[in-house]
Amino acid sequence: MLTDIQRLQAMDLDVWQLRHPEIYGREQEVIQLPDHCQLLLVCDHTLSDQDAWLFGNILKSMKLNAEQARQLPHAALPALGEHHLSWCWYIGSVEVIVDGVKSLYSQPLAQMHDNPAAKRDLWRQICQYE
């Protein structure tokens, strides 16, 4: 008999969040990112197709690909286990910061499409680490 976690893994879902963790007691699952994950997008909203396109272009400019990036909501950060991240990109309010990585901050991607100043600000943040 498969456990819930084995079912999620069988569906190639390696990151998830419980809607009602209180049902399972006080123990919180540790979120393990794949070793090849270099950038974590901390965003509470699912990316639209247009947002995903912009995100992909930004990743390319950073010499990263989609396989090297993951997205987690802000509430999941305390459960983040050991990782090999180089970057953490925060969208919206920041309550928990991942230590030891390069940090980026921006407004939601949906607001960046027609806002060259916001894109420029993000690019300056990326370049400050080079």
Question: Contact 102/125 with Cβ under 8 angstroms?
Answer: no
In 3D space, the residue among 40, 34, 14, 43 whose CA is nearest the CA of residue 98 turns out to be 40
pTM passes above 0.85: no
Q: What is the spatial distance between Cα 114 and Cα 124, in angstroms, rounded to a whole number? A: 18
H helices present in the chain, as ranges:
4-10, 49-61, 109-112, 116-127
* Measured distance between the N- and C-terminal CA atoms of the chain, rounded to whole angstroms: 50
Question: Which distant-in-sequence residues (6+ apart) come within 8 Å of 96 by Cβ?
Answer: 74, 77, 78
| Structural tokens at position 43 | 């965003």
Q: How many other C-beta atoms can be found within 10 angstroms of the C-beta atom of residue 110?
A: 14
Q: Would you list the domain boundaries of the chain?
A: 33-127
Q: In CATH, what number does 33-127 get?
A: 3.40.50.10220
Side-chain-facing half-sphere of 47: CA atoms under 13 Å: 19
Distance CA 86, CA 41 (A): 12
Per-residue pLDDT in tens (0 to 9) along the chain, 130 residues: 556 666 766 777 666 666 666 666 555 578 899 999 999 999 998 899 999 999 999 999 999 999 999 999 998 888 898 999 999 999 988 888 898 999 999 999 999 999 999 999 999 999 998 7
